[in-house]
Structure 1
Amino acid sequence: MSLEAALENANAPIGSLVEALGSDGRIDVASIPRGALDWAIAEAASAHPERRFVVIAADLEEAYRHESNLRFLLSHQGADVLLFTASDTSALLDVVPDRRAEMQRMAVLAQLAEEQPWRVLIVPAPALVRRVPPVDQVKSGLVWIEIAQQMERDDLIRRLSELGYLRVPLVEDRGTFSARGALVDVFGPDATLPVRIELDDNLVSRIRRFNPDDQKTADEIDSLQLSAAREVPDTPDGIARAKTAVRELCDEMNMPTLRARELVAELDRGSGALTSNALLPAYFDRLDTLFDYLPKDLRLVLSDPLAIATSVRTEQQHAADEHAARRDRPTFDLSAYYMSEEELTQRLLGYPAMVSHRLAVHGAAGDDEGPIIAAFAQPGDTLIRVSASDQQPLISELRAQKGHGDRGLQPLADQLREWTEQGVRVFLVGRTQHQADRLVDLLKSYGVAGRILDEMALGELRDGFVLWSEGVAYVTEEEIFGSRVRQRRSQRQTRRQQQRFLEDLRELGPGDFVVHVDHGVGKYLGLQHKELSLTAMDRLHGRTAQTVEVMVVEYAGGDKLFVPATRLGVIQKFKGGEGHQPKLDRLGGTTFGTKKGRVHRAVQQMAEELLKLYAERTAVRRQ
């Protein structure tokens, strides 16, 4: 969009939107780009330090983009930007939730429950509608440790186990702890580094953070707070409460006694029970909503109410289907797991809202469109249109230019010159210093002004934008070069590679060590036949499970990975010195990824040194 078109369509500068965000009235804004919306929120957070903001996105991908934008735009303030993600599984499936995602959610709930400082919270709509553990339970799960505090070592170990921390020989991953004599190492769910707690009898004498790779001390601290790692409490009282509630459900549905006993016995595993996810309401008197954690002095930002309403309805429809398919298993009412759309709308209306309309709909909403659309889709008396635009025209030109020789960045260079002539200050944003330097070198060959290249910024801004009234433009690396795409390995292997792979498999026997491309070193236990799990809808339609042959690989802690025979290419036999016994990696841990990262950096450094040496030799020959 050109300067003239942007100013013609606008009826207010974006500064007026920033000012309005500090008030308590409803705000309706139309067709504002995502990056410009986040800029306005960041500016409002700076101008109104007493105000906090909750951004509601339609889905997780949009939430991630808002998070990246706001972290970049608020980085100079050091303001806390929180992301509360939706669970990776349905609340009604008999599965253990992903541990890392669950820890991240619990860390956010703990920060909200303790009323610790934060400025912006981003929530995808599916996460907002799902109920969460009670505020009191999350508060009671917090552990405070400080220097000179009286603390029994065994009490600390028991407490960490009850909060869902895994006891391991060596702390390397979040949500784990180890105890060796008077030393207790703990890696909190949201911590950047693990801590080592030193006890002198029953007195905390020292607390220090350390690097998990080399175990060396990073710094010392006076106190720390640890939050629960799992939603399900592993306390005797919590498990006893769940058993009582599940027995009552089994009696109500006349479940056979033997099957009911097996189900109740499974609950003794606490957070490791396969049924703990679907029976979460059994552990508490009631579940809360995210709104119960939020303060009253905040402003909601609804990014596209039409998309939010669609996302909520989709989530609730999936939940209703899963609930209907659990007729043969103990299950609570659907309202125990999810809010209804009506309840969600009433909670939303309790806060001042800014509604960002991607498409402004005028006229009354129909009865079948739902309460969210009825409450928020229709703009109020005043609809703000700001003079802002995204970078979509530039992106289209860059993509079209890719197939026309080596001048692929010519549209960018031309646009930068045009903005400069219009008095617009331009910021190019790169993810890393290496990528920023690369972009600067490329643009120098196009004759781009040095003052633009000198203002190259680093960060994870995802959505560029132009604020014509402010005379500012941002262009991201992703918009210039395209989205980052993970390179896939070629599915075609050479005959020699296939032959080597088959030879490795023939030599493989139970007890041999293998290496998985993602999870690292494990122990091969043999081949098994496994039935594929059925979805709730499959069970509802009476479908039978299929059987597949899998390779069983055991990792540290006894965790097992089942690799289908169709994907054996991700496994290879471990090759080391004769008699060498490698250390098993932890399934889902970060140790193997860290090792691969170190090797990658070492190889890259070696390649750079070889290139430098080659260049020096070439220069000497020319002389």
Structure 2
Amino acid sequence: MLQKVVSHLTGGDKKSAIHLNEVHGSSLAFIIAASYQVHKGNHIVLCRDREEAAFLMQDLQFVLPKKEIYSFPSSFKQLGQIHQSDSGNIQMRTEAITQLTSNAIQSMLIVSYPDALLERVVKKSVLKETRLDIEVGETFDIDFMLELLITYNFERVDFVYEPGQFSIRGDIIDIYSFANANPYRIEVFDNEVESIRLFDPVSQRSEKKVLRISILPNGQQNFTVEEQVSLFQAIPSNTTFWINDVAMCLETVDDGMSKAIACYEKIDLDEEDFEQEDSIRIHPQKRFETSPRIKGYLEDIQFIEWGNKIYSKAMEIYSFGIDPQPVFNRNVDLLVEDLQAKKEAGYELILATEHAKHYNRVQGILQDVEANITMHPLNLDLHAGFVDDQNKILVYTDHQIFSRYHKANIRKNRSSSRAQLIKTLKEWKPGDYVVHIDHGIGVYSGLEKLDIAGRVQESIRIVYQNNDLLYVSINALHKISKYSGKDGKKPKIHRLGSDAWAKTKTKTKKKIKQVAYDLIKLYAQRKTQKGFAFSPDTYLQHELEASFFYQDTPDQEKTSIEVKKDMESDVPMDRLLCGDVGFGK
């Protein structure tokens, strides 16, 4: 059946559509991956909603580990909420459309959902005109760059931590473009680009040197209606759409338009802090796509539908005969009965798990109940299992067997926790106590630009005893932390150049060594004592643990192993378990 799909893609009518029936679980990821590898055009997959898109994207990343898969999300945090945009989503959206319309890339795999169809994208010609290409060795005008970034509504900040921001510190320019997942650091010397690097916005450390970059503005808010088109009009001719339930997709677009209009009518554009050129001032019916227009676009493209509903009676139906993984509700007897029947029917039994440990646990349970069943391991954290009756292949996931919570772990935008350090630095106020790992406790005094070897760099100023000043480069942010001590008690400020801080650290180390010596002595005494050794876990324990609703974190898993090892030893256990409230102690 898969061969028929591939044949349709490679030799079928470019304006035809087919429907895939009886496709369940993560089998879709394997079908799309196989089709993509044979038919190297662009493939855009429209899932039912953003959650399904997240799971499919994760499955595709597992199945195609060497292929970069792009996400094309909605710009808004919720469907139709036009006043609540997400800069991280806009960045991923801009990156995807930039790569899709690039002549250099002829084969892409993009995952999206109907919410994203509501919004238009920038025309390829306009995108090319507004793109700023910067190359090492070329002449660079900082004043022109500043004016251009402001024109495109980039925000000037001290430290960039989310798309749409830039900072200028003498001859160093940091820009967080909407076309890349990481910000750029451009170093200029004598009006010439000396180097360009990708860097981590939190640690400020360089990650990779590049020779050429492209800076793009917000592709959703800085362009007129005339400069934007539907995604269907922007795609290259070699693009195939995969759509889960076309009718439901069109209904979602209608729902989004209704919510956008309702939101637009509630916003007071005169009182709210909106710029005159903000796209939010444009009525949604002029700004967004409608379901009738999308329906018209579908008539002129090649697409593949899957799901329970068939969009058109004229569509040819391909039945794959794939069933979803049965629900076992943590019942090992039901699992064994099902596997035994499939084994006798000649099915290949495969167990997909995130870690080898989880496979060993399930296989251990089967051995403990003397099931005489061996499942082949598949080290992929698939979202959902399936049973391929045509090819007699069974793929089960351990988290579904034991009804364990499963979530998609996909790339997150930088504007969340990864930028917390930069946000914290911005919240520091002059007069706050800080600790430098090498110089001790001082007082934070703000930021200051310094001329270092002919270059202006922004540094953190810390005041020590006798008003001595220490300037710390932003590249060394990891060496500074805010002081945390007893409430209401002011710390003693250290003096630069003195050995007080060094003595404090040395004294602390000596005390730690003394405590360690006492503990070792105590442990040696306890080692000579005998305690009760518990028996190793049986399949009942394995079954219980596998049924836990949430997956163990690496630290929780490590802790469980070590505690069990202690309990199975005849030496009395001596262990302190630490963790935050609600972390499973």
TM-score in terms of structure 1 length: 0.59
Aligned ranges 1:516-555 → 2 under 5 Å: none
What's 2:28 paired with?
37
Cα distance in 2 for partners of 1:134, 1:414 equals 57
What's 1:292 paired with?
233
Shift of 1:144: 2.3
Structure 1 residue ranges without an equivalent (≥5): 1-12, 234-279, 361-376, 403-407, 487-515, 526-555, 557-573, 582-599
Shift of 1:229: 4.0
8 Å CA contact 1:196–1:208 kept in 2: the answer is: yes
1:446 counterpart SS class: helix
Cα distance in 1 for partners of 2:264, 2:300 equals 29
Cα distance in 2 for partners of 1:198, 1:449 equals 65
CA deviations on 1:179-200 (whole Å, 9 max, x unpaired) are: 3332233444464544432222
What's 1:27 paired with?
18
Matched, 1:203 2:192: yes
What's 1:114 paired with?
102
8 Å CA contact 2:79–2:256 kept in 1: the answer is: no
CA deviations on 1:569-600 (whole Å, 9 max, x unpaired) are: xxxxx96454479xxxxxxxxxxxxxxxxxx9
Shift of 1:451: 6.7
What's 1:438 paired with?
358
Cα distance in 1 for partners of 2:428, 2:68 equals 47
Matched, 1:428 2:351: yes
> How many residue pairs were aligned?
431
* 1:178 aligned to which of 152, 155, 167: 167
8 Å CA contact 1:59–1:311 kept in 2: the answer is: no
Cα distance in 2 for partners of 1:223, 1:418 equals 59
**C-alpha spacing 1:26/1:424, structure 2 compared with 1 (3 Å):** same
Matched, 1:388 2:311: no
Matched, 1:457 2:379: yes
1:130 counterpart SS class: coil
Residue type of the alignment partner of 1:468: D
Residue type of the alignment partner of 2:296: Q
What's 2:514 paired with?
none
Aligned ranges 1:562-601 → 2 under 5 Å: 576=485, 578-579=489-490
Cα distance in 2 for partners of 1:178, 1:192 equals 17
Matched, 1:305 2:246: yes
What's 1:482 paired with?
403
**C-alpha spacing 1:184/1:576, structure 2 compared with 1 (3 Å):** farther
8 Å CA contact 2:171–2:187 kept in 1: the answer is: yes
8 Å CA contact 1:166–1:175 kept in 2: the answer is: yes
Cα distance in 2 for partners of 1:390, 1:36 equals 9
What's 2:389 paired with?
468
Of residues 342-351 and 437-446 in structure 1, the stretch that sits farther from structure 2 once superposed is 437-446
2:26 counterpart SS class: helix
8 Å CA contact 1:478–1:484 kept in 2: the answer is: yes
Shift of 1:163: 4.0
* 2:142 aligned to which of 143, 146, 153: 153
Cα distance in 2 for partners of 1:616, 1:161 equals 66
Matched, 1:124 2:58: no
* 1:103 aligned to which of 84, 91, 96: 91
**C-alpha spacing 1:17/1:204, structure 2 compared with 1 (3 Å):** same
What's 1:65 paired with?
55
Residue type of the alignment partner of 2:254: R
Cα distance in 2 for partners of 1:19, 1:87 equals 38
Matched, 1:218 2:152: no
**C-alpha spacing 1:382/1:102, structure 2 compared with 1 (3 Å):** closer
* 1:314 aligned to which of 255, 272, 296: 255
CA deviations on 1:405-439 (whole Å, 9 max, x unpaired) are: xxx445445544544444444443334x4xx4234
Shift of 1:327: 10
**C-alpha spacing 1:85/1:462, structure 2 compared with 1 (3 Å):** farther
Structure 2 residue ranges without an equivalent (≥5): 271-279, 408-419, 430-446, 448-482, 493-551, 574-585
Shift of 1:347: 0.9
Greater helix content:
1
What's 1:529 paired with?
none
**C-alpha spacing 1:338/1:218, structure 2 compared with 1 (3 Å):** closer
8 Å CA contact 2:122–2:219 kept in 1: the answer is: no
Shift of 1:113: 3.2
**C-alpha spacing 1:381/1:310, structure 2 compared with 1 (3 Å):** closer
Cα distance in 2 for partners of 1:124, 1:318 equals 17
Matched, 1:141 2:141: no
Shift of 1:349: 0.8
Residue type of the alignment partner of 2:397: T
8 Å CA contact 2:257–2:284 kept in 1: the answer is: no
Shift of 1:44: 0.9
* 2:308 aligned to which of 341, 358, 362: 358
Cα distance in 2 for partners of 1:328, 1:84 equals 26
RMSD over equivalenced CA pairs, Å: 4.2
Cα distance in 2 for partners of 1:522, 1:215 equals 14
Cα distance in 1 for partners of 2:318, 2:74 equals 30
Cα distance in 2 for partners of 1:617, 1:27 equals 62
Cα distance in 2 for partners of 1:617, 1:522 equals 51
8 Å CA contact 1:132–1:287 kept in 2: the answer is: yes
What's 2:513 paired with?
none
Residue type of the alignment partner of 1:456: L
What's 2:64 paired with?
74
CA deviations on 1:151-188 (whole Å, 9 max, x unpaired) are: 12333344444444443333444544333332233444
8 Å CA contact 1:30–1:384 kept in 2: the answer is: yes
**C-alpha spacing 1:334/1:428, structure 2 compared with 1 (3 Å):** same
Aligned ranges 1:388-427 → 2 under 5 Å: 388-391=322-325, 393=326, 396-397=327-328, 399=329, 402=330, 408-427=331-350
Shift of 1:45: 0.7
Cα distance in 2 for partners of 1:464, 1:521 equals 46
1:291 counterpart SS class: helix
Shift of 1:232: 2.6
Shift of 1:345: 0.9
Shift of 1:616: 9.7
Cα distance in 2 for partners of 1:100, 1:580 equals 40
**C-alpha spacing 1:458/1:71, structure 2 compared with 1 (3 Å):** same
* 2:6 aligned to which of 8, 18, 28: 18
8 Å CA contact 1:150–1:203 kept in 2: the answer is: yes
Cα distance in 2 for partners of 1:326, 1:221 equals 43
TM-score in terms of structure 2 length: 0.62
Cα distance in 1 for partners of 2:557, 2:242 equals 45
1:482 counterpart SS class: coil
